[in-house]
Amino acid sequence: MALLIDGKEISKQIKDELKQKAAELKSKGVEVTLAVIQVGDDPASSVYVRNKKKGCEYVGIGSLSYELPGETTQEELLGLIRELNGRRDVNGILVQLPLPEHIDEDTVIRTIDPAKDVDGFHPQSVGALCIGQPGFVSCTPAGIIQLLKRSGVEIEGKECVILGRSNIVGKPMALLMLRENATVTIAHSRTKNLKEVTGRADILIAAVGKPKMVTRDYVKKGAVVIDVGINRDENNKLCGDVDFADVEPVCSAITPVPGGVGPMTIAMLLNNCIESAGL
């Protein structure tokens, strides 16, 4: 039986550590505050935003909530971000994505002060990660490193294959695994002989957004499999990019969906908020 990597449990450990850090900061007179901005009322975004605010409450971080109508102009949004950039009582700024079509995501991300970029999406944060300098790291890949380390999975010298090349997960994930001294391959939709490539992985990370795409013929026996996908299957049931029932018997460790990578994203966001306040 494969080890089930429990993201709920590990994220709770991290949140409890952060709670202590937040209390320490408070005792020194430092309050940590995250500003969360949502534009429009996309139901999935509303759930994520609610969970982020709940996470703040649990850890003892203040949250300011800006729920703006879908018709908000780009200039209005940029104006709010600039105001929050200038506020000394705000440590972190998070603009929930996706944004309505009339707003340019890239311009919005670039307007956030990199010192408050707790999502780690600003080009300066991404650049810093790339050349090994300090800066905020995108929360989902940072959470995966914690999942591996806290489950006792050795990374150094291992073959790591990442399936997917998004700016939020695939690319920063590759940089983080490289920083941990793994040998890293990024595979994607144009990769030739995909199963042969993924079949070399000691650690396989699936982040493609295709329900149950990764079956056991993609996986080396004894590999560690991390599933970043959150999809709906043919019965509208939540599922990952990995066909769990098919892969679990051949791998040595695996994350479930839900309860694997998902809860780690918020834990790392809260970690970035505490970091932004200087601990």
Interface residue list for ligand GUN (CB under 6 A): 94-97, 119, 139, 265
Nearest-approach distance from CB 188 to ligand GUN, in angstroms: 20
20 is catalytic: no
276 — phi, psi (to 5°)? -65, -20
- Concerning whether 28 is annotated as a catalytic residue, the answer is no
Active site residue 74: no
Instruction: Give me the half-sphere count of Cα atoms (radius 13 Å) on the Cβ side of residue 70.
Output: 9
Alpha helices in the chain, H assignment, sequence order? 7-27, 43-59, 74-86, 105-111, 123-130, 139-150, 170-179, 194-198, 244-247, 262-276
Which amino acid is located at 92 in the chain?
G
7-27 helix and 43-59 helix, angle to the nearest 10 degrees = 50
* Cβ-proximal residue to ligand GUN, closest one: 97
Cis peptide before 258 (omega within 30 of 0): yes
Report the alpha-carbon distance of residue 44 to residue 25 in Å, rounded. Answer: 33
* Alpha-carbon span 109 to 117, nearest angstrom: 8
Question: CA-to-CA distance for 110 and 251, rounded, in angstroms?
Answer: 41
Candidates 6, 15, 38, 96; catalytic one: 96
264 in Cβ contact with 236 (< 8 Å): no
Min CB(122)–ligand GUN separation in Å: 12
Q: Cα(89)–Cα(30) distance, rounded to whole angstroms?
A: 9
Q: Identify the active-site residue in 52, 116, 158, 220.
A: 52
**Distance from C-alpha of 63 to C-alpha of 53, rounded to nearest angstrom:** 6
CB nearer ligand GUN, residue 18 or residue 34: 34
Cβ 81 to ligand GUN, closest distance in Å? 12
Q: Residue 36 CB, nearest distance to ligand GUN (Å)? A: 9
Nearer to ligand GUN, 68 or 97 (CB): 97
| Residue written as token pair 């650049």 | 127
Q: Residue 194 CB, nearest distance to ligand GUN (Å)?
A: 25
The active-site residue out of 6, 117, 119, 243 is 119
Closer residue to ligand GUN, CB minimum distance, 139 or 147: 139
Active site residues: 52, 96, 119
